[in-house]
Amino acid sequence: MTDRLAGKVALVTGGGRGIGAAIARRLSRDGATVAITYSASAEAAERVVSDIAAKGGQALAIRADAADPAAVTAAIDQTAIRFGHLDILVNNAGMGVAASIAEMRIEDYDRCFAVNVRAVFVAIQAAARHMERGGRIITIGSVNADRIPFAGGSVYAATKAAVAGLTRGAARDLGHRGITVNVVQPGPIDTDMNPADGPYAGASKAALALDDYGRPEDVANLVAFLAGPESDYITGATLNIDGGYCA
């Protein structure tokens, strides 16, 4: 463990698996106390908490459906009350429904925007009430906000473009308080939601400058940089970590 985030408290939404779990573990490794939210798998979330504790860190798992604004706000308030403050928010929880415009159901459209956009807004608003100067807000977007080389991703892309715009506006709103707001846009990352041998792997790999999918730890490394003191002068930025997907 390092001490670059010692004394900091972080909340990672959707931190029970994939990219979120890697981020939680990395922030803890850098010295932060970490809370994570999950919506379905308590077992996976508790495994992340146990892994962090086994390495000498402190962590907490909170059940909160990202589609429920009250649950999102309560998770942030619980984290700040439990640990005394909140310094880092990572909006990682997300979802996608692959369907063409002609086939997309309105209920799936609404849930995508509720989880991927509204929850980010609600979390930023709630976290900002607890943050002091030096606070960090980082949202996990997607390079699909800028490029979709396959059919069926229009609504998902729209949600990720929305959070990139929200990030730029929030950076303006919170900058005078010394709180930075940035968005990290991963390209193809090997997770259970988007495996390197999944149905979209062929199109995704063809778009890369490098030769394979990235790892959740690659994204976690960039998030850790943005959460730390080295990134004081970075805000309102969109940072791609995509193996050249958008090159």
Please give the backbone phi and psi of residue 90, each rounded to the nearest 5 degrees, phi first.
-115, 110
Instruction: Write out the catalytic residue numbers.
Output: 156
Which residues share a beta bridge with 37? 62
Distance from the Cα of residue 88 to its chain's centroid: 11
Cα–Cα nearest to 151, from 203, 115, 191:
203
Q: Determine the 3-state secondary structure of 163 from DSSP.
A: helix
Q: Determine the 3-state secondary structure of 123 from DSSP.
A: helix
Cα–Cα nearest to 130, from 3, 5, 11, 4:
11
- Environment class of 164 (CB within 10 Å of its CB; exposed 0-12, middle 13-18, buried 19+): middle
Distance from the Cα of residue 17 to its chain's centroid: 12
Sign, Cα dihedral of 109, 111, 114, 119? negative
Q: What torsion, rounded to 10 degrees, do the Cα atoms 41, 45, 51, 52 define?
A: 180
Which residues share a beta bridge with 182? 138
